[in-house]
């Protein structure tokens, strides 16, 4: 019998010989092949054809309305409930009342960090035709009773409307009714619901796809359809993960861009298409709707397969239709009105991205597979010989014999602990893969213990253990919906022996984890996944919880890795599958991409889409997982990689080795400089991560987030800002390109990061041309920004912790600039107790002849805004002389200050009255109108601590 690995290798080799995209689309359903989606779209078609005569059958009897006397809650017939939270978010829930079975109602419990607080100040008022609540900044929620329609209004204008088109439909559980027979002829009685539900009765109680049959053991259909409209917002973003533009193209209406709706069904898609509505590895049912006036959003909490149609009744409006296979209606409406408000409203529900360990923001080197411990040591040695920085070395599945994860191949990896320690000796870490499928073998302790504990997913019968096929051959999957699995799984990552069972003694605290294949991927299952009628804890079917499944695996892994040190050190976990809330547990990547220019380009858009949906710690495999990119493409891909939050190179086992030190010159030298550039910018990335860990704002920010009123930027998704730093970047993703255009939306100078060339924008927006030879990556500094970097090249980030800083001060037209810097030990959780420094650098004009550059203490000024309020902390006041601040006092200084855009050469530069040495190169002034190279003032080693208050006076 041919092995799984051999079969996969043969398939991959054949696929790689084709110069075409190789995704096998027939393995995955389209809407027309999913009965519930077909019925949902049919409902929309009937409503559109009926036009104004269409009326939703869902109405509320006014006598059923019950309003809470002490909170902003009201309930009504058929399980409808509306709540308004303290922050103005509206929650709409509806469940089937007295149904034959309970619909799945636990999705929110996995996504939310806690039950939101309902307002006690806002009150509903009931009328004959509607129920209303007015609050906040001209906000009002109106629930029309007949037919049912829920609207959020601001200043009298509709912002979000549920069931405005009458497409709400909760298919009720029902018993199959066989039409009576007369003389052998089946007599079908007219269906009184056919005008609404249609007459398509196929796939209600059983559904076939390719060779698989979904038995649907529950009582009939259970889908949910809801139309959500944005009458005054013409652009929508979100609902990752899809390989497409950031501003979602249409799927319905006249000449739609796509003809199939966006699908959310976590899937292991082999070499996915670079422009498609196909489902990929993760699903976040969150959508932003945007206009120049405001931003609103919806979070439609479903764990089951969901299709979303997007159309535009006009240029200024958007209509969407959400069709899910199962579950209750549980939808959060975010009133905004700014993108920043939306991020905060969403993160208050689902949590903010975790503050990662500093080392994890460095460069990660991976491939399928490094074949031995000797290979790992050689890779590390080659990076050091070439003076290329790297922080993390990775191992894919081949470290484990027969893919029994946690177990080492003692011939290829005879000394795993010593290997990990050798890597850690240079301040580096390792990441090792742990997939969720476990070989069904009695000599594999992880499987044996899981089986003995009864915590494995069950087949449709509800008895025994589901058996499927994956890398390990015959495999079973742990049911992480079962709380009994949690403590056991977390304990596996302990590195000391335990009498309670298996622990990973052949590991160290410097080994972190990669969770792959957790959609889950099942090679012999329907759509390369688990059958929908499999049974999980609580009796729920897999169809109900599929999109949540991968998050629970990563959650417990993250906790296990964190707890092995007693909570002393931060964990790193990478996941392929994700859901709303996954941002709390680590990083994600965009999966099995190809080494093509198209995949390089769409990877940027996908990372942006994940960022606005909360999954900020995101990146794409540099170089592409499949294929052998030419040197030019590989260089450009590294330029993309250094500007992603998560920066990893990875490759398939059938590709040529492409570690950067193997390239010929000039490519090797270019990539070496790019790696060093990433490391000089680590303070920028770490500072951005602190902000997103508190506010939920994205790490990489598309144009509409930073300039929400600029209509010209609503479709931009190939350039973006890095946090609040002021860095505007536009990686090159086109072959042979040696220049590009960058859109500048404001009347301010933007400075080339490398040459200090000034590009001036316009209040109406302006495109400027940027030179981009192969060794150049377009990075601009927005006027008004101060950029802190560490310029000394090191082998790893751990060796940079005491290095000095360079401050780039890019003046705006008013000769002002600001920037932030956040530092802590980068590894522990001591920052939660106030062991950090958080500084604000500010340059301000003082009259016409002076500019004052100051260093302020933000930790002291805003201690409650320094860290995520949802994590355990003893921080109530901030001590500027905390233990971390003391540890770097006198050791971490500012060694250089570079000021761009002064109008003339300074007469003096002084610190506390003492003159500082400086150089000045004449050039273009920030407050002028000319373009060209900016003037550059360089202050040499002012000998000021980065963590102390100081003031430098520049006299002109």
| pLDDT for position 279 | 98
Indicate whether 904 pLDDT > 90.
yes
Segments of 233-343 assigned E as strands: 235-238, 262-264, 286-290, 295-300, 306-311, 318-324, 329-334
Rounded CA-CA distance 325/225 in Å is 9
What percent of the chain stands above pLDDT 70? Answer: 97
DSSP code of 807? Answer: E
CB 867 within 8 A of CB 838: no
Rounded CA-CA distance 723/23 in Å is 35
pLDDT in tens, 221-234: 999 999 999 999 99
Q: Name, in order, each residue with C-beta under 8 angstroms of 385's C-beta and a sequence gap of 6 or more.
A: 661
| pLDDT for position 2 | 34
The CA-based diameter of the chain, rounded to the nearest angstrom, is 110
pLDDT in tens, 860-901: 999 989 999 888 887 888 999 999 999 999 999 999 999 999
Number of separate helices (H) and strands (E) present in the chain: 17, 54
Indicate whether 119 pLDDT > 50.
yes
Centroid of chain to Cα 72: 32
Q: How confident is the model at residue 17 (pLDDT cuts 50, 70, 90)?
A: very low
Q: Name, in order, each residue with C-beta under 8 angstroms of 660's C-beta and a sequence gap of 6 or more.
A: 386, 388, 638, 649, 668, 671, 672, 675
What backbone phi and psi angles, to 5 degrees, belong to 477? -125, 135
CB 155 within 8 A of CB 138: yes
Average pLDDT of the residues in 361-376: 98
Q: Name, in order, each residue with C-beta under 8 angstroms of 615's C-beta and a sequence gap of 6 or more.
A: 240, 282, 284, 353, 578, 582, 583, 588
pLDDT in tens, 472-510: 999 999 999 999 999 999 999 999 999 999 999 999 999
Q: Which of 413, 369, 425, 359 is nearest to 395 (CA)?
A: 369
Task: Judge whether 516 counts as a catalytic residue.
Answer: yes
pLDDT in tens, 422-468: 999 999 999 999 999 999 999 999 999 999 999 999 999 999 999 99
Indicate whether 180 pLDDT > 90.
no
Q: At what angle do helices 597-612 and 631-641 cross, to 10 degrees?
A: 10
Strands 837-846 and 850-857: antiparallel
Active-site residue, from 106, 171, 341, 519:
519
Report whether the peptide linkage leading into residue 101 is cis, meaning its omega lies within 30 degrees of zero. no
Task: Judge whether 519 counts as a catalytic residue.
Answer: yes
What backbone phi and psi angles, to 5 degrees, belong to 678? -55, -40
Active-site residue, from 106, 260, 325, 592:
592
Q: How confident is the model at residue 551 (pLDDT cuts 50, 70, 90)?
A: very high
Q: Which of 917, 921, 910 is nearest to 941 (CA)?
A: 917
Query: Which two tokens mark 771?
Result: 């030179």
Torsion angle in degrees (nearest 10) through CA of 794, 797, 801, 804: 50
What is the side-by-side order of every strand in the sheet holding 914-915?
A: 914-915, 908-911, 950-955, 850-857, 837-846, 817-823, 785-789, 805-810, 893-900, 936-945, 918-921
pLDDT in tens, 62-116: 999 999 999 999 999 889 999 999 999 999 999 999 999 999 999 999 999 999 9
SS3 of 331, please?
A: strand
Indicate whether 20 pLDDT > 50.
no
CA distances (Å), 210 to each of 25, 206, 524, in order? 12, 13, 12
Rounded CA-CA distance 832/835 in Å is 7
CA distances (Å), 468 to each of 9, 308, 534, 542, 822, in order? 20, 30, 11, 14, 47
Query: If you count them, how many residues does the chain have?
Result: 956
Mean pLDDT of all residues belonging to the chain: 95
pLDDT in tens, 125-174: 999 999 999 999 999 999 999 999 999 999 999 999 999 999 999 999 99
| pLDDT for position 179 | 63
| pLDDT for position 455 | 98
Active-site residue, from 516, 621, 717, 868:
516
Rounded CA-CA distance 636/772 in Å is 10
Q: How confident is the model at residue 362 (pLDDT cuts 50, 70, 90)?
A: very high
Geometric angle at alpha carbon 606, from 605 and 608, rounded to 5°:
65
| pLDDT for position 869 | 86
SS3 of 712, please?
A: helix
DSSP H or E stretch at residue 131: strand 130-135
Region of 636 please: left (phi>0), alpha (psi -120 to 50) or beta. alpha
What backbone phi and psi angles, to 5 degrees, belong to 246? -65, -50
DSSP code of 487? Answer: H
| pLDDT for position 874 | 77
């Amino acid at each position: 019998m041919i092995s799984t690995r051999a079969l996969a290798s043969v398939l991959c080799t054949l696929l790689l010989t084709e110069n075409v995209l190789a995704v096998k689309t027939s393995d995955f359903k389209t809407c027309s092949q999913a009965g519930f989606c077909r019925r949902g779209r049919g409902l929309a078609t009937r409503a559109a054809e009926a036009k104004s005569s269409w009326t939703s059958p869902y109405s509320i009897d006014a006598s059923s309305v019950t309003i809470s006397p002490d909170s902003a809650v009201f309930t009504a017939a058929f399980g409808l409930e509306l709540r308004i939270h303290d922050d103005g978010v509206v929650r709409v829930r509806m469940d089937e009342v007295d149904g034959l079975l309970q619909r799945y109602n636990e999705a929110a419990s996995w996504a939310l960090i806690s039950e939101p607080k309902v307002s006690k100040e806002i009150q509903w008022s009931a009328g004959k035709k509607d129920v209303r609540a007015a609050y906040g900044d001209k906000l009002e929620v109106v629930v029309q009773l007949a037919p049912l329609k829920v609207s959020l209004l601001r200043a009298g204008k509709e912002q979000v409307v549920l069931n405005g088109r009458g497409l709400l439909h909760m298919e009720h559980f029902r018993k199959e009714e066989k039409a009576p027979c007369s003389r052998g002829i089946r007599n079908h009685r007219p269906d009184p619901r056919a005008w609404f539900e249609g007459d398509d009765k196929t796939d209600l109680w059983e559904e076939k796809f390719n060779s698989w049959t979904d038995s649907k053991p529950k009582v009939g259909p259970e889908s949910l359809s809801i139309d959500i409209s944005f009458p005054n917002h013409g652009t929508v973003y979100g609902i990752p993960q899809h390989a497409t533009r950031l501003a979602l193209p249409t799927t319905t209406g006249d000449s739609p861009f796509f003809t199939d709706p966006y699908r959310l069904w976590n899937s292991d898609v082999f070499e996915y298409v670079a422009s498609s509505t196909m489902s990929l590895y993760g699903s976040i049912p969150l959508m932003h709707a945007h206009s120049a006036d405001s931003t609103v959003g919806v979070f439609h909490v479903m764990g089951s397969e969901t299709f979303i149609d997007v159309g535009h009744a006009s240029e200024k409006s958007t209509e969407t239709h959400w069709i899910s296979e199962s579950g209750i209606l549980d939808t959060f409406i975010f009133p905004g009105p700014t993108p920043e408000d939306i991020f905060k409203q969403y993160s208050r529900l689902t949590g903010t991205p975790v503050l990662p360990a500093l080392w994890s923001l460095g460069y990660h080197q991976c491939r399928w597979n490094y074949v031995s411990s000797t290979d790992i040591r050689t890779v590390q040695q080659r990076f050091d010989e070439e003076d290329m920085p790297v922080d993390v070395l990775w191992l894919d599945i081949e470290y484990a014999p027969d893919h029994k994860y946690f177990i080492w191949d003692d011939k290829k990896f005879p000394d795993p602990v010593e290997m990990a320690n050798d890597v850690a000796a240079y301040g580096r870490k390792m990441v090792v893969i742990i997939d969720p499928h476990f070989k069904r073998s009695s000599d594999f302790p992880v499987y044996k213990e899981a089986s003995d504990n009864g915590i494995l997913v069950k087949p449709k019968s509800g008895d025994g253990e589901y058996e499927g096929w994956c890398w390990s051959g015959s495999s079973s999957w742990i049911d992480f919906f079962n709380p009994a699995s949690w403590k056991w799984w977390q304990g596996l990552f302990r590195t000391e022996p335990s009498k309670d069972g298996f622990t990973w003694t052949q590991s160290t605290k410097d080994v972190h984890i990669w969770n792959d294949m957790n959609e889950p991927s099942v090679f012999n299952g329907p759509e390369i996944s688990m059958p929908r009628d499999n049974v999980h804890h609580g009796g729920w079917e897999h169809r109900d919880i599929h999109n949540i499944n991968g998050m629970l695996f990563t959650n417990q892994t993250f906790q296990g890795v964190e707890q092995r040190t007693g909570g002393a050190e931060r964990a790193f976990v990478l996941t392929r599958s994700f859901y709303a809330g996954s941002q709390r547990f680590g990083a994600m990547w965009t999966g099995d991409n190809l080494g093509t220019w198209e995949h390089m380009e769409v990877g940027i858009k996908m990372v942006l889409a994940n960022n606005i949906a909360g999954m900020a710690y995101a990146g794409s495999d540099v170089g592409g997982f499949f294929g052998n990119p030419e040197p030019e493409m590989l260089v450009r891909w590294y330029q993309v990689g250094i500007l992603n939050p998560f920066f990893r190179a990875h490759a398939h086992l059938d590709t040529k080795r492409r570690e950067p030190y193997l390239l010929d010159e000039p490519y090797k030298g270019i990539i070496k400089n790019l790696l060093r550039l990433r490391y000089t910018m680590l303070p920028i990335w770490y500072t951005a991560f602190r902000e997103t860990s508190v506010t939920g704002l994205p790490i990489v920010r598309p144009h509409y987030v930073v300039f929400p009123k600029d209509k010209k930027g609503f479709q931009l998704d190939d350039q973006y800002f890095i946090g609040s730093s002021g860095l505007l970047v536009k990686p090159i993703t086109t072959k042979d390109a040696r220049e590009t255009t960058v859109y500048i939306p404001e009347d301010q100078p933007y400075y080339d990061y490398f040459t200090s060339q000034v590009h001036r924008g316009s209040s109406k927006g302006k495109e400027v041309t940027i030179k981009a030879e192969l060794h150049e990556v377009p990075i601009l500094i927005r006027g008004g920004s101060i950029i802190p970097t560490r310029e000394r090249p090191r082998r790893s980030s751990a060796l940079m912790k005491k290095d000095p800083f360079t401050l780039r001060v890019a003046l705006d037209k008013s000769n002002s600039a600001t920037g932030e810097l956040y530092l802590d030990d980068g590894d522990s959780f001591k920052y939660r107790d106030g062991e950090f420094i958080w500084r604000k650098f500010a340059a301000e004009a003082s009259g016409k002849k002076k500019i004052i550059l100051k260093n302020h203490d933000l930790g002291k000024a805003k201690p409650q805004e320094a860290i995520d309020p949802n994590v355990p902390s003893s921080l109530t006041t901030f001590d500027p002389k905390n233990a971390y601040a003391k540890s770097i006092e006198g050791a971490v200084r500012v060694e250089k200050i570079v000021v761009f855009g002064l109008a003339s050469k300074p007469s003096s530069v002084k610190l506390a009255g003492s003159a500082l040495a400086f150089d000045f190169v004449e050039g273009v002034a920030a407050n002028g109108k000319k373009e060209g190279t900016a003037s550059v003032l360089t202050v040499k080693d002012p000998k000021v601590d980065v963590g102390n208050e100081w003031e430098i006076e520049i006299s002109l």
